[in-house]
C-alpha cells in the first residue's frame, strides 16, 4: 500500500481568543505522525490564523490526495466545522475525517452530530490520532471501539472506545517544528495588547511545551479532564535544548512556557532557572501558574533567569467566590499584594486572570478585583465564567460557540444593567497596556518569517 498522506488542520474560523500554545499542539501532532513508518507525508495548515479563504482551503483538500484529515478543535472552535466537513467530503472523498482538541477531549459527544469518522476523546492527542491513522492504513478500524481513546462511526452509529486514550511520557512528546509555524500571523494577532491576548506586542514568541496535566482541579478548566491530574514534565535538558535550537534557527525574542501550572514542581523550576542563569539569562521568558505556587525567593530567581511576565489565576478577591475555587486558589488581597511586591522587585510584570460571573460573586466584585490588581501595577486579563456542565450532546454549533469565556451563560447575570457592566470589563475600552516589551530586546530584521511545511 502506498504511504499515507495526512493533513493536520485548524479549519477556517474567526478566533475568539489567540494563544499560540493551543495552536502549536497542531504541530506536535503532525511531528508525532511523521514518525509512523507507514506515513509518507504530513501537511499542516492553520487556516484560522492564516486567514485563508474557503477557496484556498478547497485547493489544498482537492490537490492533497489525503487519506486522513485530522481536524483540530478548541473550546469554541466549531463555527466552521460543518462547512469544512462538506468541503472535505466533496474535495477529498477518500479521506477519513478525525477531530482532536480541547473541546472533544472534554466532551467528545458534542461532535457526534458532525459528519466525521472519528472523534478523539480524553488523553493525549498524538497517540489517539496516530492509532486512527494506523487503522486507516490497515484498511480501516476492524470493528467499533477498537481504537484506544477514539470514538468511531459506523454508518450513523457512534461507538465509544473500549480503552481510554493514552498519555505519553514527556520523552515521547515531539516539540513543534518551528520551520512550519506561521509566525508572521502570530505576530499580527499579538500586535495590540488591548485585546488582552497572551503574547507580547512587537516581539516574536517561541512556545515551549513544558508540562501537561494539573492536580489543582479548577472546575472551569479542561486540563484535568483532558490530560489528567498528574503533572508530566519535559526534562530541564529537553526544554533548554529546544530553546537553544529554536533560537539558532529563527530570530525569536522571548519564550512562552506552555504549562498549566508552571511552578507546580518547585525543584524542576529552580533547576531550569539555574540553567538559564548559567547561560547568561539571555532568553526572556513568561509563564502561567498560581499565587500558591510562588514565593519571594522563587520569584527573585525567576527574575534573575530572564522571566519578564508571570500570569496567575487570581479569579476573584471576594471570599464569597471562594467555594467555587480549589482550596489552594482561595487568595485574598494580602496575597496578591505580596506577590505584586515580589514581582516588582524582580523586574517581572504581574498578569492576573479575573473571572466575571464566578458563582458567589457579583459584577462589583469583579470590578473591584480588576481595580485592585491595576492599583498594584498589574496587568489584568478578564474572562467570563463558562461552566463545562452546560455543554451537552445535541447542542447546535452556535450554542457550543457561546462557551468561549466571552459570553455570559444564560441567566448568569439577569439584570440588564449589571450584564452590560460585566461586558464592559471584558469588552470595554482598554487603557492599561503592557510595557513588558521594553524588557525584551529586538532580534529580528524586517520581513523575517518562518516557512510553512506542505
What pLDDT, on the 0 to 100 scale, is given for residue 1?
56
pLDDT band at residue 288 under the 50/70/90 scheme: very high
Domain positions in the chain are 4-159, 190-438
Long-range contacts for 292-297 (Cβ within 8 Å, ≥24 apart)?
A: 292/328, 292/329, 292/331, 293/261, 293/263, 293/264, 293/266, 294/263, 294/339, 294/342, 295/342, 296/338, 296/342
What pLDDT digit, counting tens, does each position of 389-423 carry? Answer: 889 888 888 888 888 899 988 888 889 999 999 99
As a whole number of angstroms, the distance between CA 341 and CA 337 comes to 6
Strands 150-154, 118-120: pairing is antiparallel
What pLDDT digit, counting tens, does each position of 18-61 carry? Answer: 999 999 999 999 999 999 999 999 999 999 999 999 999 999 99
Q: Which residues contact 50 (CB under 8 A, 6 or more apart)?
A: 182, 185
- Quickly tell me which residue has 480524553 as its cell: 122
pLDDT band at residue 282 under the 50/70/90 scheme: very high
What pLDDT digit, counting tens, does each position of 298-321 carry? Answer: 999 999 999 999 999 999 999 999
What pLDDT digit, counting tens, does each position of 349-366 carry? Answer: 999 999 999 999 999 999
What are the φ/ψ torsions at residue 298 (nearest 5 degrees)?
A: -65, -40
- Quickly tell me which residue has 477531530 as its cell: 99
Indicate if the alpha-carbon torsion angle 112, 114, 117, 122 is positive or negative.
Answer: negative
What pLDDT digit, counting tens, does each position of 55-104 carry? Answer: 999 999 999 999 999 999 998 879 899 999 999 999 999 999 999 999 99
As a whole number of angstroms, the distance between CA 186 and CA 204 comes to 8
DSSP per-residue string spanning 384-448:
E---GGG--TT--HHHHHTTTTTSPPTTSS-SHHHHHHHHHHHHSPP-----GGGGS---PPTT-
As a whole number of angstroms, the distance between CA 14 and CA 254 comes to 26
**pLDDT of 451 over the 50 cut:** no
190-438, what's its fold? TIM Barrel (3.20.20)
**pLDDT of 454 over the 50 cut:** no
What pLDDT digit, counting tens, does each position of 162-213 carry? Answer: 999 999 999 999 999 999 999 999 999 999 999 999 999 999 999 999 999 9
What are the φ/ψ torsions at residue 92 (nearest 5 degrees)?
A: -135, 65
What pLDDT, on the 0 to 100 scale, is given for residue 141?
82
As a whole number of angstroms, the distance between CA 290 and CA 287 comes to 10
| pTM reported for the whole predicted model | 0.94
Rounded alpha-carbon distances, angstroms, from residue 205 to 150, 286, 393:
33, 10, 37
Share above pLDDT 90 across residues of the chain, in percent, rounded to a whole number: 86
Neighbours of 238 (CB within 10 A): 17
Rounded alpha-carbon distances, angstroms, from residue 1 to 39, 132, 140, 143:
11, 17, 13, 21
Q: Using alpha carbons, select from 439, 412, 433 the residue that is nearest to residue 343.
A: 439
Residue-wise burial string across 111-144, b where 16 or more C-beta atoms lie within 10 A, e elsewhere: beebebbbbbbbbbbbbbbbbbbbbbbeeebeeb
- How confident is the model over 107-122, as a mean pLDDT? 96
Given a contact cutoff of 8 angstroms between Cβ atoms, the answer to whether 69 and 9 are in contact is yes
Residue-wise burial string across 204-220, b where 16 or more C-beta atoms lie within 10 A, e elsewhere: bbbbbbbbbbbebebeb
DSSP per-residue string spanning 12-29:
S---S---HHHHHHHHHH
4-159, what's its fold? Rossmann fold (3.40.50)
As a whole number of angstroms, the distance between CA 4 and CA 379 comes to 47
As a whole number of angstroms, the distance between CA 324 and CA 330 comes to 9
Amino acid at each position: 500500500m502506498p504511504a499515507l498522506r495526512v493533513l493536520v488542520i485548524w479549519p477556517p474560523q474567526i478566533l475568539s481568543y489567540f494563544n499560540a500554545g493551543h495552536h502549536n499542539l497542531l504541530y506536535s501532532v503532525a511531528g508525532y505522525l511523521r514518525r509512523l513508518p507507514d506515513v509518507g507525508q504530513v501537511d499542516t495548515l492553520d487556516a484560522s490564523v492564516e486567514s485563508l479563504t474557503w477557496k484556498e482551503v478547497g485547493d489544498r483538500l482537492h490537490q492533497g490526495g489525503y487519506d486522513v484529515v485530522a481536524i483540530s478543535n478548541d473550546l469554541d472552535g466549531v463555527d466552521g466545522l460543518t462547512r469544512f466537513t462538506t468541503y472535505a467530503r466533496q474535495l477529498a472523498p477518500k479521506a477519513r475525517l478525525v477531530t482532536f482538541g480541547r473541546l472533544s477531549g472534554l466532551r467528545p459527544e458534542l461532535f457526534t452530530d458532525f459528519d466525521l469518522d472519528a472523534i478523539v476523546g480524553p488523553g493525549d492527542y498524538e497517540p489517539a490520532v496516530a492509532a486512527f491513522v494506523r487503522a486507516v492504513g490497515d484498511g480501516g478500524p476492524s470493528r467499533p471501539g477498537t481504537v484506544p481513546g477514539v470514538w468511531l462511526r459506523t454508518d450513523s452509529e457512534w461507538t465509544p472506545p473500549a480503552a481510554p486514550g493514552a498519555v505519553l511520557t514527556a520523552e515521547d512528546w515531539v516539540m513543534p517544528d518551528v520551520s512550519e509555524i506561521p509566525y508572521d500571523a502570530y505576530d499580527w494577532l499579538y500586535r495590540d495588547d488591548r485585546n488582552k491576548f497572551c503574547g507580547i506586542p512587537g516581539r516574536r514568541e517561541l512556545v515551549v511545551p513544558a508540562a501537561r496535566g494539573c492536580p489543582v482541579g479548577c472546575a472551569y478548566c479542561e486540563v484535568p479532564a483532558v490530560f489528567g491530574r498528574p503533572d508530566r514534565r519535559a526534562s530541564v535538558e529537553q526544554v533548554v535544548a529546544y530553546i537553544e535550537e529554536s533560537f539558532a534557527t529563527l530570530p525569536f525574542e522571548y519564550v512562552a512556557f506552555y504549562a498549566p501550572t508552571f511552578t507546580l514542581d518547585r525543584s524542576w523550576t529552580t533547576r531550569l532557572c539555574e540553567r538559564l542563569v548559567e547561560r547568561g539569562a539571555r532568553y526572556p521568558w513568561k509563564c502561567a501558574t498560581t499565587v500558591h505556587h510562588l514565593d519571594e525567593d522563587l520569584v527573585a530567581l525567576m527574575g534573575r533567569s530572564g522571566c519578564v511576565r508571570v500570569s496567575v489565576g487570581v479569579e476573584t478577591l471576594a471570599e464569597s467566590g471562594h467555594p467555587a475555587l480549589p482550596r489552594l486558589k482561595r487568595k485574598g488581597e494580602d496575597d496578591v499584594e505580596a506577590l505584586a511586591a515580589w514581582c516588582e522587585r524582580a523586574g517581572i510584570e504581574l498578569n492576573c486572570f479575573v473571572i466575571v460571573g464566578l458563582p458567589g460573586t457579583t459584577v462589583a466584585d469583579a470590578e473591584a478585583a480588576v481595580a485592585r490588581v491595576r492599583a498594584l501595577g498589574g496587568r489584568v486579563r478578564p474572562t467570563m465564567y463558562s461552566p463545562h456542565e452546560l455543554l451537552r450532546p445535541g447542542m447546535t454549533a452556535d450554542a457550543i460557540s457561546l462557551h468561549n469565556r466571552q459570553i455570559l451563560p444564560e441567566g448568569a447575570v439577569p439584570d440588564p444593567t449589571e450584564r452590560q457592566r460585566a461586558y464592559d470589563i471584558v469588552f470595554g475600552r482598554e487603557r492599561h497596556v503592557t510595557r513588558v516589551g521594553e524588557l525584551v530586546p529586538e532580534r529580528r530584521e524586517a520581513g523575517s518569517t518562518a516557512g510553512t511545511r506542505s
